[in-house]
Structure 1
Amino acid sequence: MSVGEICNRDVVVIDRKASVYEAARMMRNQHVGSLVVVDEDSNTPMKPVGIVTDRDLVVEIMAKEVPEEALATGDIIAPELLTAREADGVWETIMRMRAMGVRRLPVVNLGGNLCGMLTMDDLLKFIADEMSDLVRLVRREQKREQDTRPPA
């Protein structure tokens, strides 16, 4: 299975020039804990350049009492952004996320444009569904055994 099949396609984005307080308002209004930062001035306006999380805002801005006008979202994103392609395999992507210590991963198409977001929540749901399928298989096998081989 590919990450494109399980990622969330409804991604909330913000321009890298937007204020960090605009990011906080957007997270609150959209009920999300992270935004994908894009560079709207580039030739590909949906190319992700970073992620800003509610934790980033608390730890980097509020805890340090940074003035509102001092920073834009692009100022607090990590210099390197890990992404996944739609066709990437789920298990390989989990290994990459684990190796890099990230919980969220923008998913891009072949052109590098944002098309989704893969989160640890998405992966946990996927794994839980797979485990449920295995449990159903075991139960079905047990039932078949009982039906075809009644007690002696």
Structure 2
Amino acid sequence: MKVSDAMTSQVSTAAPTDTVRKVAQVMAHVETGAVPIVENGKVVGLVTDRDIVLRVVAEGRSFDSPISEAMSEGEVQSVREDDVLADATAKMASHQIRRLVVLNEAGNLTGILSLGDVAKDYGAKQVGKTLEEISQEGGEMAAAPAS
């Protein structure tokens, strides 16, 4: 099974200059916990609901701040849409994350692969194994920047 068979292809995105408030409203409207940050057609970051809580709410920052101040820094972990799904779940486990950005051959965003997507299309056994590996010793269970 390929990543494209399981991923969510309808993805809401934001620009680095969008406000924290606007991105949080998008998250609430589409019921998602992660929004890719896209600039000039390329993913430059990812912001999760956890990022907003830790980097905005907990630090007392303004909700009118640009989302670039709250997003995970560094390269976002990604997979290609034609990658094997088992390899993608192994990547989630090794990086201790719950979501991967899905890119096409040109490097453009085509979707997001989450543990929920894997559960629907790949089976609860694989999700349990991946979740166990993500949760081992200090796993954050949130999107993380690439090393």
- Normalised to the residue count of structure 1, the TM-score between the two structures is 0.75
Residue 117 of structure 1 aligns to a residue in which SS?
strand
Equivalences for residues 1-150 of structure 1 within 5 A: 1-39=1-39, 42=40, 45=41, 47-69=42-64, 71-78=65-72, 79-128=74-123
Runs of 4+ in 1 over 3 A off after TM superposition: none
Q: CA RMSD in A?
A: 1.8
| Structure having the higher Rg | 1
Q: Structure 2 CA distance, aligned partners of 1:14 and 1:122?
A: 22
Contact 2:99 2:114 in 1 (8 A): yes
CA distance in 2, matches of 1:7, 1:32: 14
The 1:53–1:29 alpha-carbon spacing in structure 2 relative to 1, beyond 3 Å, is same
Percent sequence identity over aligned pairs = 28
1:27 deviates by 1.1
Aligned to 1:136: none
TM-score, normalised via structure 2 length: 0.78
3-state DSSP of counterpart to 1:111: coil
| Greater helix share, structure number | 1
**Number of residue pairs matched by the alignment:** 125
Shift of 1:51: 1.2
Q: Aligned residue for 1:148?
A: none
